[in-house]
Amino acid sequence: MGGRDATMVLLDENGIRCDGRKIDEPRRIMIKAGGLKNADGSAYIEFGDNKILVGVFGPRDVHPKHMSNTDTGILRVRYHMEPFSVTERKNPAPSRREIEISKVIKEALEPAVMLEKFPRTAVDVFIEVLQADGGTRCAALTAASVALADAGIPMRDMVAAIAAGKVADTIVLDVNNEEDQAGQADMPIGYMPSLKKITLLQLDGILTPEEYKKCVSVGVEGCKIVYELQKKALHNKYFGNRDD
Ligand code: UDP
């Protein structure tokens, strides 16, 4: 969360944001299920200017064997940003940030996946960020849920994710990169709409208790929009295009 850039108007007098959106409007979201022939399941997402590909492999044997669990399956997640995905080249070695994001995505997916159905095995989720523009963890979590469903992994629900935040003293949906840098708070949320359960909630910035509640409810409503697009992506792959 950087200091406010005085030259940038984050919210104009008509309630329009720096990229032309209204306060409760998400960026353009396109999700495609499938696409990677060698993966058991895959998905591609464009979330504004974020472009992310996810491949799922498994359930498969765990090596080394002592890493496996006789009672349940394990989920392994690797979030990786391509060096060319951001304006300033990113070092290809795993950064602390990528390790943290891999962990939070894994923990956000675990309540959704019926790991108890495949003991001793692992399901691997590989996330490749091809282009980043703020909100990659939410876009990646959203696409990972679709890729797991595409792989036929038994699931209780899909996790849909989007960030809410505070920009120019206003709670907005889907914080973009400029808003993240110059805004006041960023709250990524992962939510399972059918089970009505939040599985990811982080907060960077400062909110009053009222703003916090508003942010959660704006984020949850946003997740419901994302969820419809996840279901549509799977429907399009398995039952043909649905234009509604
Ligand atoms: N970013 C970057 N270089 C990096 C890491 C991040 O330019 O090494 C940008 C990228 O656009 C990313 C944004 O900063 O989406 C916000 O990163 P953050 O850690 O808040 O995670 P995200 O919002 O992507 O989940």
Q: What pLDDT is attached to residue 1?
A: 54
Based on its alpha-carbon atoms, the radius of gyration of the chain, rounded to whole angstroms, reads: 18
| Predicted TM-score (pTM) of this structure | 0.95
Q: What pLDDT is attached to residue 3?
A: 47
Range of the domain at 119: 16-239
Q: What pLDDT is attached to residue 125?
A: 98
Is the shortest distance between the CB of 136 and ligand 1 below 6 Å? yes
Q: What pLDDT is attached to residue 8?
A: 74
Q: Which residues pair with 167 in a beta bridge?
A: 170
In a domain, 79, yes or no: yes
Contact 53, 79 (CB under 8 A): no
Which residues does the chain have with pLDDT short of 50?
A: 2-4, 244
In a domain, 229, yes or no: yes
| Rounded distance between C-alpha atoms, residue 151 and residue 131, angstroms | 24
Closest CA to 234 of 153, 173, 128: 153
In a domain, 140, yes or no: yes
In a domain, 70, yes or no: yes
- AA identity, residue 123: V
**Ligand 1 atom 17: the closest Cα is on which residue?**
134
Q: What pLDDT is attached to residue 7?
A: 59
In a domain, 2, yes or no: no
> What's the full length of the chain, in residues?
244
**What CATH number does the domain containing 148 carry?**
3.30.230.70
In a domain, 198, yes or no: yes
- Give 121: exposed, middle or buried? Use CB within 10 Å, 0-12, 13-18, 19+: middle
Q: Number of folded domains in the chain? A: 1
Q: Count other C-beta atoms under 10 Å from residue 160's C-beta.
A: 26
| Rounded distance between C-alpha atoms, residue 202 and residue 104, angstroms | 9
Q: What pLDDT is attached to residue 4?
A: 45
| Rounded distance between C-alpha atoms, residue 18 and residue 5, angstroms | 12
In a domain, 6, yes or no: no
Paired tokens of 90: 């990113």
CA–chain centroid gap for 14, Å, is: 30
**Ligand 1 atom 15: the closest Cα is on which residue?**
134
Q: Count other C-beta atoms under 10 Å from residue 64's C-beta.
A: 6
Residue 56 CA, ligand 1 centroid: distance in Å: 23
Q: What pLDDT is attached to residue 241?
A: 77
Is the shortest distance between the CB of 48 and ligand 1 below 6 Å? no
Is the shortest distance between the CB of 1 and ligand 1 below 6 Å? no
Residue 38 CA, ligand 1 centroid: distance in Å: 29
Q: What pLDDT is attached to residue 183?
A: 83
In a domain, 219, yes or no: yes
Residue 70 CA, ligand 1 centroid: distance in Å: 37
Q: What is the 3-state secondary structure (H, E, C) of the chain?
A: CCCCCCCCCCECCCCCECCCCCCCCCCCEEEEECCCCCCCEEEEEEECCEEEEEEEEEEEECCCHHHCCCCCCEEEEEEEECHHHCCCCCCCCCCHHHHHHHHHHHHHHHHHECHHHCCCEEEEEEEEEEECCCCHHHHHHHHHHHHHHHCCCCECCCCEEEEEEEECCEEEECCCHHHHHHCCEEEEEEEECCCCEEEEECCEECCCHHHHHHHHHHHHHHHHHHHHHHHHHHHHHHHCCCCC
pLDDT digits (tens, 9 = 90+) for 89-138: 999 999 999 999 999 999 999 999 999 999 999 999 999 999 999 999 99
